[in-house]
A and B are shown apart, each in its own frame.
Chain A
Amino acid sequence: MNSPKNDENAFWTIFGYMLSGLLIWGGIGYGLDRWLDNDLFLLGGLIFGMGAALYLIWLRFGRN
């Protein structure tokens, strides 16, 4: 596989991870907010999700 295609792959993989990090953990936070009548979990979830996504990106691309 040559490098422009690798870049394209990496770019969209990273984009996908960050999107799913926000969606999943942000979504869980939003659900907790609705359930517990609070407004901190959404923010916490978004930050947590972003952190998780960055960690996953590091695992995939940064380790070697």
Chain B
Amino acid sequence: MFRSYAATEGVKDEGFNPPDAGDFNLPPFIDGNTFATKPILLAFFSVTLISIFFILASRKSALVPSKLQFAGESIYGFVRNDLGRDVIGHEFMRFVPYLFTLFTFILVNNIFGIIPLIQFPTMSRVSFPYVLAAITFFVFHYIGVRRHGIIAYLKGIMFIPGVPKPAYILITPLELATYFIVRPMTLSLRLFANMFAGHLLLLVFILGGEHLLSGVIGLKVVSPFSFVVAIALTFFEFMVQCLQAYIFTLLTALYITGALADEH
């Protein structure tokens, strides 16, 4: 299923090769060093970019903000008010740093998918969403255990009040599975699958258009349509990329709220 990059290169000249999962398998820059790959480099680059942006935006804070300060504060304000305060409630400030880091990190790495010359969404490599979901998983369970104590917290998850006793046999496994398996799984796979599918879609139309250009005259004529669709899809992808960063952070905030709540 996963062709190696070398194999893809080798068969390039026998007609059109539709893009597939092998196109996400980028080789290391340095031979044998599995850490010197584009996604890992992009992750580090995004951290540098975010840091520089927000340090510059907050360095000379003035009462009448500059454009840069305004941009930085808008993003921060959005996460703090819309995702922190509105969802978590009065003790939201403790969680804003985590939510803010999560949101900006995912957002920038997603948008890398449509930035010319970069054009690779880091989150289309599944390990990145896995790690982020694992962090969220530990954060909200840790908060729940700290707040209620481990026994009361697990009891709150397993037994919703006001249900006849035999029904717990039916429900308790589902609650446990939802909290401990399905939540981190859906969180990571939703982000991964959206980025993966989006990148593949763009590849199909861009590489397809390029290939049509090299065909006979009839194919050359339809090639521009492929590029037009690719451009339209790029804007659509931008929307999806922002939305996915938002949903990941929103659900993290909701899980934290659930862990803090008195009853589940």
Binding site for B on A (CB under 8 A): 1-2, 5, 8-9, 12-13, 15-17, 19-21, 23-25, 49, 52-53, 55-56, 59-60, 63
Query: Known contacts A20-B174, A20-B178: does B163 contact A8 (CB below 8 Å)?
Result: no
CB pair B186–A21 under 8 Å, yes or no, is no
Count the A-B residue pairs with Cβ separation under 8 angstroms: how many? 57
Option from A2, A5, A9, A17 in Cβ contact (under 8 Å) with B174: A17
Q: Count how many chain B residues have C-beta atoms less than 8 Å from C-beta atoms of the other chain.
A: 21
Inter-chain CA distance A23–B183, complex, in Å, is 13
CB pair B186–A15 under 8 Å, yes or no, is yes
Query: Known contacts A5-B250, A24-B174, A55-B170: does B183 contact A16 (CB below 8 Å)?
Result: yes
Query: Given known contacts A8-B254, A52-B171, what 12 new A-B pairs fall within 8 Å (CB)?
Result: A5-B86, A5-B254, A8-B247, A12-B251, A16-B178, A19-B186, A20-B174, A20-B182, A21-B174, A24-B177, A52-B170, A59-B171
CB pair A9–B181 under 8 Å, yes or no, is no
Tell yes or no: B15 within 8 A of A by CB.
no
Interface majority SS (helix, strand, loop, mixed), chain A: helix
Binding site for A on B (CB under 8 A): 86-87, 160, 162-163, 167, 170-171, 173-175, 177-178, 181-183, 186, 247, 250-251, 254
Option from B162, B171, B182, B247 in Cβ contact (under 8 Å) with A23: B182
Inter-chain CA distance A2–B173, complex, in Å, is 31
Within the complex, the shortest CB–CB distance from A46 to chain B, in Å, comes to 13
CB pair B177–A59 under 8 Å, yes or no, is no
A48's closest neighbor in chain B, by CB? B170
Inter-chain CA distance A53–B172, complex, in Å, is 11
Inter-chain CA distance A58–B210, complex, in Å, is 52
CB pair A52–B174 under 8 Å, yes or no, is yes
Inter-chain CA distance A61–B182, complex, in Å, is 19
Inter-chain CA distance A8–B167, complex, in Å, is 27
